[in-house]
Amino acid sequence: MLPFILYFVTGVASGFHVYTLLFAAYGAPLNPLALVSLSGSFCLLIAAYLSLFRPHVAGRVALIACLLMWCFYGPALANLVRARLHKPVAISRLILPLAGKTPKSALLAESARF
Amino acid sequence: MILPYLATAFLVLATVYSAMVSFRGKPEGREAGWIFPDRSGRSLRIPVVTLTVLMGVVAWFGVNSRNASRNAPPRSLHFLIPEGYSGWVRVEFEIPGAPTLPSEAGHTVLKIPASGTLKTSSPEEYGWARDYYYFYSDAGSRALPDSGGRLIWGKINGEASGPSGKRKYEEFFVGTEEQYRDQASGARP
């Protein structure tokens, strides 16, 4: 019963998630990886059904389905992590004149560092 | 928005579990537990399959009814224009605080004030529908005359962006062809 619940819930949750992403924006182009992931969700539902009769075969089908789904979720997660951890580069920096130097030479000295 | 995290968490679990089942080999000679069960008994399979099919049917009808209500054809608009009014009529939609448009006998009624501008919090409906135009006064309302030339011109709908945000509007001109041409050559309000 455990494999059935696991495969079924995963298939429904991820399938519904990708489905909403596919049709969230009207007129937006379809992402082929999302379609691959959607087919993976469908395969996972088949695996859930198979797990009641042939658990070992269902496990292999589920593994293939999960790999299909990772085609979409993998890059999406990587982008999410990159967006969260990425520190944006400052596009401008204030350079103050140093004590004991003329403002012009200080600015030139500072700007030469970049 | 918990769904993406939930889907990812379940995907990780399903991947790990299915990999364990696949690379574990067939459980010959080993005792099947609840984590890696052997085939389910017939007494369990029948209710599980039945329940799944039922859930699928319920979900299917749920999604279909939601789409049906979302894709319902737009109702026709009944414009009530003040008797003797001539000029541009403007209806602004989705204005916060403005009254909603009333419905009568399956039609949406838009009673245009003497100023010619009606503001409503109701959204604009898109799609194919025939609109009707009436003149109203204290004596009652009458449909715009069919004969003697048309009186509705230059109907447009659009969206304008400004400091107060986006505004959806619909405009048309009420008057004779001559009046419409005269104002078109001059400045619009």
Q: What does the domain layout of chain A look like in residue ranges?
A: 2-85
Q: Where residue A101 falls among pLDDT bands split at 50, 70, 90?
A: low
Q: Which residue has the higher pLDDT, A1 or B38?
A: A1
Averaged confidence pLDDT in chain A? 79
pLDDT exceeds 60 at position A18? yes
Beta bridge partners of B81: B135
Task: Give the model's pLDDT for residue A107.
Answer: 56
Among B55-64, B68-77, B143-152, B168-177, the minimum mean pLDDT is found in B68-77
Cβ contact, residue pair B37, A3, below 8 Å: yes
Of A87, A108, A6, the closest CA to residue A47 belongs to A6
Q: Which residue has the higher pLDDT, A15 or A93?
A: A15
CB contact B40 to A (< 8 Å): yes
Cβ contact, residue pair B39, A54, below 8 Å: yes
ipTM exceeding the 0.85 mark: no
pLDDT exceeds 70 at position B28? no
Of A61, A4, A73, A87, the closest CA to residue B11 belongs to A73
Angle separating helix axes B3-24 and A55-85, nearest 10 degrees: 140
Q: Where residue B119 falls among pLDDT bands split at 50, 70, 90?
A: very high
Among partner residues A14, A53, A73, which is closest to B39 by beta-carbon distance? A53
Cβ contact, residue pair B11, A14, below 8 Å: yes
Give B105's DSSP letter: T
Q: Which residue has the higher pLDDT, B93 or B41?
A: B93
Q: Collect all residues of chain B within an 8 Å Cβ-Cβ radius of residue A44.
A: 14
Q: Collect all residues of chain B within an 8 Å Cβ-Cβ radius of residue A38.
A: none
Dihedral class, residue B156 (left if φ above 0, else alpha if ψ from -120 to 50, else beta):
beta
Q: Which residue has the higher pLDDT, B136 or B60?
A: B136
Q: Where residue B148 falls among pLDDT bands split at 50, 70, 90?
A: low
Among partner residues B3, B18, B38, which is closest to A62 by beta-carbon distance? B18
Task: Give the model's pLDDT for residue B156.
Answer: 83
Task: Give the model's pLDDT for residue B68.
Answer: 58
Q: Collect all residues of chain A within an 8 Å Cβ-Cβ radius of residue B52.
A: 8, 48-49
Task: Give the model's pLDDT for residue B118.
Answer: 93
- The number of C-alpha atoms within 13 Å of B37 and in the hemisphere containing its C-beta is 14
Q: Could you state, in order of their start, the residue ranges of all structural domains in chain B?
A: 46-74, 77-185
Q: Where residue A4 falls among pLDDT bands split at 50, 70, 90?
A: confident
Q: Where residue A94 falls among pLDDT bands split at 50, 70, 90?
A: low
Q: B87-113: b or e for each residue (b if 16 or more CB lie within 10 Å)?
A: ebbbbbbbbeeeeebeeeeeebebebe
pLDDT exceeds 90 at position A66? yes
Instruction: Search chain B and give the residue with CA nearest A18.
Output: B4
pLDDT exceeds 70 at position A99? no
Instruction: Search chain A and give the residue with CA nearest B16.
Output: A63
Q: Name the burial class of residue B163, with classes exposed (0-12), middle (13-18) and buried (19+) by CB atoms within 10 angstroms of its CB.
A: exposed
* A-interface mutation test, from B16, B18, B34, B55, most A Cβ less than 10 A away: B18
Q: Are B112 and B85 in contact (CB under 8 A)?
A: yes
The minimum CA-CA distance between A43 and chain B, rounded to whole Å, is: 12
Averaged confidence pLDDT in chain B? 80
Query: What one-character-per-residue DSSP string does A29-44 give?
Result: PPPHHHHHHHHHHHHH
Among partner residues A2, A47, A67, which is closest to B35 by beta-carbon distance? A2
Q: Where residue A109 falls among pLDDT bands split at 50, 70, 90?
A: low
Tally C-beta pairs within 8 A across A and B. Answer: 94
> For A71-88, what is the mean pLDDT?
80
Tokens of A92: 């401008």
pLDDT exceeds 90 at position B63? no
Task: Give the model's pLDDT for residue B106.
Answer: 77
pLDDT exceeds 80 at position A57? yes
> For B122-128, what is the mean pLDDT?
78
Q: In what order do the strands lie in the sheet with B103-104?
A: B103-104, B107-111, B77-82, B132-137, B140-143
Distance CA A80, CA A91 (A): 23
Of A10, A49, A46, the closest CA to residue B45 belongs to A49
Task: Give the model's pLDDT for residue B154.
Answer: 84
Among partner residues B4, B6, B26, which is closest to A56 by beta-carbon distance? B26
The minimum CA-CA distance between B2 and chain A, rounded to whole Å, is: 10
